[in-house]
Amino acid sequence: MASHPTRIPDAVSLPELTVRGMILGALITVVFTASNVYLGLKVGLTFSSSIPAAVISMAVLRALRGGNILENNMVQTQASAAGTLSSIIFVLPGLLMIGHWQGFPFGLTLAICASGGILGVLFTIPLRRAMVVDSDLPYPEGVAAAEILRVGSEGDEGTPSAGKKAATGNESSGVREIAFGGVVSALFAFATAGLKVLGESITAWIPAGAAVFRLTTGFSLALIGAGYLIGIVSGLAILLGVVLTWGIAVPVLTSITPNPDGVAMAAFANGLWQHKVRFIGAGVIGVAAVWTLITLAKPMVDGVKTSFAALGKSRGARGAGAPARTEQDLSPYWVIGLTLLCVAVWVVTFGVFLAEAPLSFGAIATLVICSVVFAVVFGFLVAAACGYMAGLVGSSASPISGIGIVAVVLVSLLILSVSQASGLLDTGAGSKLAIALALFTTAAVIAIATISNDNLQDLKTGWLVGATPWRQQVALLVGCVVGAAVIPPVLNLLYNAYGFTDALPRPGMDPSQALSAPQAILMTAIAKGIFTHQLDWSMLGIGAVLGLTLIAIDAVLAKRGGVARVPVIAVGIGIYLPPTIGSVLVIGALLGWIAQRVLKARAKAKGEDYGPYAEAAERRGVLLASGLIVGESLVGVAMAMVVGFTGSDAPLALVGSSFAPTSEWLALIVFVGICVVIVRRVLATAR
């Protein structure tokens, strides 16, 4: 591999894992973990925090003086745990939805998250050379983060470019973009969720005989940012899901399903979507997840073989001479020791989780062993697949929720077979406990999978800039622990303030304000359906057939070449998510596409190559989008604190419910204006 001008050579030793860097990384981790937990519960998506964390780190460390590219890399490595470990919220809220938990116990939640995250790091360490150094996988986010670090570190002391005249100012301008997006998004969110002077969505119900159609959009700048980041291909796939749902499925069902209770048109249509059509989306997502794992079967097997081979080589190589600095991973003895420690923590954690089960000690021990062994073995197998997926399509685009669906089905069938002999399923309380155990075990798998997905991406960034691998691995371990400590209180805060769909903490709360937690609802519905034999197989079957059809269409498009594709999981998400969420994601993706088209036209008119011409504008767009997500998410967390403190659902509202129609139109006007400003600000970078 050719050396990049700003790749630190092996012979050069710079401060990397510093105390100030770890403190800064922990602070950024707290902020982005809270943001990702809120966004994940609201929309079912999380965002990659590596690039915004790198930009913030460069600005802060430059102000403190003495920073370098490797120290900045360590900060973004630690903070990246925020965007990945937060995916645990795809499962854990299900324990409240079935009534097993009334909140999120700090100790159990911390143990399942931290141990799973640490195992995710450890399981992918032996894969680093094969999948990062010797592989031609693109690692899009890892490469992008490395480029951000290189540009922002020009002129830093100790780097190969230190002789250049300092700094380009890219890192300060990057922080300004994040701050601009964050402030705009925070003010807009405060006006909607806090003051209530702006509406949160606008909807038109259109009857056509007995059929009911719905046109709607939400007003969320965080979702605009998320849509901007996922891109036009995924955005159009989500739009297809929305159209299939509210343009075909719901109208057909409302026209053929009697409404004996005479409920309002909107409530009737929403009920059919929630209890029937959403399972079509679940079927699509499930089939897409299984297909993804099938296509990755060979790389996954190869990755597992490489993992064992690398571990053996590492043991044999000890004493044969110290490897180069950029080849030094954590010692195999540390890897094995920490793995055994995490497994022991899980044994205790699952034991405490089942402590009140009306079973003998032997039956509880059997369930604990089965759950822990499943989580560790399946997690180890999935770690290789997740590392490969991260290298292929990036961490943000990897179907982690799909892996969760496969895991919850397998572990539910395992626990169902084991529990029949113990008599656990003979009572309603026992069945509920079995469902809870299946969800808790799936959460452990998700924790491994998400960090495995992120770790190799970070190691790719480190390899490109010349970082020391074992120091990066320590930074990520620290990030896992910090993120795991933040997740339980944030979850409790958001639950008590807003509630989740199907799980409201207090009577009289407005269900429309509840956080949707879409993946948690899906995982819970699947687990409950398997144990109670009441899964709506007809709708799941329709979704499976639709998913297979879409997979075939996508395969044909892939053979033809070009950018036209149908990401099947994105279509399923469009069916499954509330339309007020899906529609805004589509708008965000369209804004990014519009900006790209204008930039291409300008580059062509000036006779310049698109890549170099649009590079600064595209980077600004990514940072703006990240700021939009962070700003609204932090206001959502802050408002949750206010709601929890006052006990009122709308403690800061300046207007009453009679103002709602006006607030919706005001919000539409302001929302459109902000979208225009965002696109113009991105385009202003390239003239």
* Residues written for the chain: 687
97: exposed, middle or buried (C-beta count within 10 Å: 0-12, 13-18, 19+)?
buried
Phi, psi for residue 213 in degrees, rounded to 5: -110, 155
DSSP bridge pairs for 204: 215
What's the pLDDT band for 319 if we cut at 50, 70, 90?
very low
CB 85 within 8 A of CB 487: yes
Angle of CA points 598, 603, 604, to nearest 5°: 100
CB 116 within 8 A of CB 451: yes
Instruction: Write down the residue that tokens 């209530």 correspond to.
Output: 196
Q: Return the closest-CA partner of residue 681 out of 107, 178, 151.
A: 178
Tokens of 603: 């580059």
Q: List Cβ neighbours of 680 (8 Å cut-off, separation of 6 or more).
A: none
Residue 247 confidence (pLDDT) above 90: yes
DSSP codes joined into one string, 609-624: -HHHHHHHHHHHHHHH
d(CA 249, CA 540): 13
What pLDDT, in 10s, does the model give residues 428-451? 778 888 899 999 999 999 999 888
pTM here is 0.75
What pLDDT, in 10s, does the model give residues 79-120? 877 667 888 888 899 999 988 888 999 999 999 999 999 999
What pLDDT, in 10s, does the model give residues 454-492? 788 888 888 888 888 889 899 889 888 988 998 999 899
What pLDDT, in 10s, does the model give residues 288-313? 867 876 776 665 566 556 555 655 55
**pLDDT for 82:** 63
Tokens of 330: 């954590």
Angle of CA points 218, 222, 225, to nearest 5°: 110
User: Among the listed ranges 24-33, 93-102, 211-220, which one has the minimum average pLDDT value?
Assistant: 24-33
Q: For residue 304, give Cα distances in angstroms to 71, 152, 387, 462, 530.
A: 31, 37, 11, 23, 30
Average pLDDT over residues 9-27: 84
**pLDDT for 306:** 56
Looking at per-residue pLDDT, the higher value among 320 and 336 belongs to 336
d(CA 445, CA 385): 13
**E strand residue ranges, 59-210:** 201-208
Return the DSSP state at 329: P
CB 186 within 8 A of CB 629: no
d(CA 664, CA 218): 10
Residue 540 confidence (pLDDT) above 50: yes
Q: For residue 272, give Cα distances in angstroms to 117, 474, 544.
A: 38, 49, 19
Widest Cα–Cα separation across the chain: 80
Return the DSSP state at 665: H
b/e 158-188 (16+ beta carbons within 10 angstroms → b)? bbbeeeeeebeebbbbbbbbbbbbbebbbbb
d(CA 678, CA 592): 10
Average pLDDT over residues 531-556: 88
b/e 565-580 (16+ beta carbons within 10 angstroms → b)? bbbbbbbbbbbbbbbb
What pLDDT, in 10s, does the model give residues 163-201? 444 444 555 667 788 889 889 999 998 999 888 899 988
What pLDDT, in 10s, does the model give residues 560-610? 887 788 888 788 888 877 888 889 989 999 999 999 999 999 988 888 888
Residue 318 confidence (pLDDT) above 50: no
CB 488 within 8 A of CB 89: no
Please provide the average confidence, as pLDDT, over all residues in the chain. 82
Distance of CA 45 to the CA centre of its chain: 5
